[in-house]
């Protein structure tokens, strides 16, 4: 038995009037309890209990061992409780990247709610008009459109993202209506897809960052 086990055992001995009650409380036989107490006294080199036919009484050494052991056991219990609470909470930093339109429409509110549920977690949501390179290690999670380009990536389908094929009226006056997102060689049309189209058609890179910290 460890020293902590011995401390806990002796707390039980001191809390009851007889070894018979201790044995009943611990679910052990009376000889087993008596033997364990004797082994504890032998290890400590001190008599902890005065045994009589009716009751147990602590010696001075037993009282010292009892009172000194209580704060140790209390601190151990508090430490284990603190670790349990820590396991129940999320800690650290989570960095998320998504496109501007999708992030604003779907992710911003979700990330904000998640941050309130886990105040010890630092959340960073960065929205950009340009797709993220998957070799970029600045982010822990990225929301993208379509299948993952690398089989080594772990992807989870979130939801459908309907797209619309658009063209300027001036373009349609001189060219046939586009039938697919890819434009014909030599033309100057810009085909924008998804709700991030306004920013992407501007030919400039824009980004927004939302950070929630403690």
Cβ burial, residue 210 (10 Å; 0-12/13-18/19+): middle
Give DSSP secondary structure letters for 90-145.
Answer: --EEEEEEEEHHHIIIIIHHHHHHHHHH-TTEEEEEEEESSPPPTT-TT-SEE--S
Domains and CATH numbers, the chain: 3-87 (1.10.10.10), 92-212 (3.40.190)
Exposure letters 158-193 (e unless 16+ CB within 10 A, then b)? eeebeeeeeeeeebeeeeeebeeeeeeeeeeeebbb
pLDDT of res. 187 = 38
Tokens of 101: 């339109």
pLDDT of res. 45 = 94
| pTM score | 0.43
pLDDT of res. 55 = 80
Q: What tens-digit pLDDT sequence spans the chain (214 residues)?
A: 688 999 999 999 998 878 888 898 888 999 999 999 999 999 999 999 988 767 888 999 999 999 999 999 999 988 888 877 666 677 788 888 888 888 888 888 888 888 888 888 888 888 887 766 666 678 888 887 777 767 777 788 887 777 777 778 888 888 887 776 665 444 332 222 233 332 222 223 344 444 444 4
pLDDT of res. 88 = 66
3-state DSSP call for residue 57?
Answer: strand
pLDDT of res. 33 = 92
User: CA-CA distances (angstroms) from residue 195 to 155, 162, 163, 164, 199?
Assistant: 22, 9, 8, 9, 9
Please report how many Cα atoms fall inside a 13 Å half-sphere around the Cα of residue 103, on the Cβ side.
23
Q: Report whether 194 contacts 99 (CB < 8 A).
A: yes
Sequence-separated (6 or more) residues with CB below 8 Å from residue 95 = 124, 126, 138, 139, 140, 141
């Amino acid at each position: 038995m460890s020293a902590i086990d011995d401390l806990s055992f002796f707390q039980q001995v001191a809390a009851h009037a007889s070894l018979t009650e201790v044995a009943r409380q611990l679910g052990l036989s009376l000889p087993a309890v008596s033997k364990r107490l004797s082994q504890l006294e032998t290890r400590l080199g001190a008599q902890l209990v005065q045994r009589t036919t009716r009751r147990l009484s602590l010696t001075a050494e037993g009282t010292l061992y009892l009172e000194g052991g209580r704060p140790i056991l209390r601190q151990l219990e508090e430490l284990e409780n603190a670790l349990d609470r820590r396991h129940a909470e999320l800690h650290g930093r989570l960095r998320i990247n998504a496109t501007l339109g999708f992030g604003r429409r779907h992710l911003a509110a979700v990330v904000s709610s998640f941050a309130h549920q886990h105040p010890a977690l630092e959340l960073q949501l960065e929205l950009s008009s340009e797709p993220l390179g998957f070799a970029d290690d600045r982010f822990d999670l990225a929301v993208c459109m379509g299948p993952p380009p690398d089989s080594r990536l772990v992807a989870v389908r979130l939801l459908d993202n309907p797209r619309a094929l658009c063209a300027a009226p001036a373009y349609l006056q001189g060219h046939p209506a586009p039938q697919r997102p890819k434009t014909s060689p030599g033309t100057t049309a810009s085909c924008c897809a998804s709700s991030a189209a306004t920013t992407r058609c501007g030919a400039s890179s824009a980004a927004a960052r939302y950070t929630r910290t403690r």
